[in-house]
Structure 1
Amino acid sequence: MSPKHADISLTLERLWQFSLQYYSMRGVKDACLNLQNHFKGNVNLLLLLKWLDEQQVCFKDQDWLKVEECLGHSETLLHSYRDIRRRLKSHVPDALYRESLQFELQLERCQQSDLVDCINNLELEKNLGSPLTLRYCRQLGAEHLYPAFAEPIDNTANM
């Protein structure tokens, strides 16, 4: 890796496995849900940014909009589905509700696929500035949540 450019290998499976492991770390799930429910943050975007932070790479500042735009369609679909699922929670059997949660996970995975495609089409560079997760929290006005995302994940999870 040159001081400026970075070559990384990001696949959907790599990001998905990282996300599952990272999301299960103490405090991360609660902070993610807080970011999503109170600051309109996107958890999949945060998980991608954390993966990039772990790789010590970032995209250019002018590419933030491209990354956020790639979420457009899937974000609308996820919000709509999540709202319906929440309203149905007390009206459907537990088994059906669990199935609806599994379907939501499939939608999340599709959104991660969009993010992977987007990132793989951007020029990445060594991150010499603030972590991307911190930048995202600041952008959302949720900087106080950043400490929950600051801890590095076990190196074996970097895949």
Structure 2
Amino acid sequence: MNSRKNMEGQPCPVARSVDVVGDRWSLLVVRDAFDGVRRFTDFQRSLGVARNILSDRLRRLVDAGILATRPASDNSAYQEYVLTEQGKSLFPVVVALRQWGERHLYADGERHSELVDKRTGKPLRAMAPMAADGHVVSPDDTEIRKRPLPGEH
């Protein structure tokens, strides 16, 4: 029995997004896909997740249009999972989570991996939400406004 509530009808984009990629394994699959993992066995080896859970998450991510399957690049009988354009657009989400973790979940001097720009070899600048004019905004600078339906004023 699945007690998971579907958020598809929710007016909140955060709720809908979490419904698709908000569980632990889905985001870690996406992270690994950004790191070049393509095959089921490689995802399983990297994540240490049970086969049935991984199979379910991969299916959900394919159904959601985040991953696509294609024949293995080595012409074997296997298939590979690749990020779609929609999946690639999750990159800022993964980077923001990574940067939050680096800032808040490690002691000073504690060793951890680092995301760097291949071109320069330097770490990425900290992500921050920006207003249309380019200034950084905080939660206190924003509010939620419900968009009217087409035809409403």
* TM-score of the two chains, using structure 1 as the length reference: 0.22
Q: Which has the larger radius of gyration?
A: 2
The answer to which structure has the higher helix fraction is 1
* TM-score of the two chains, using structure 2 as the length reference: 0.23
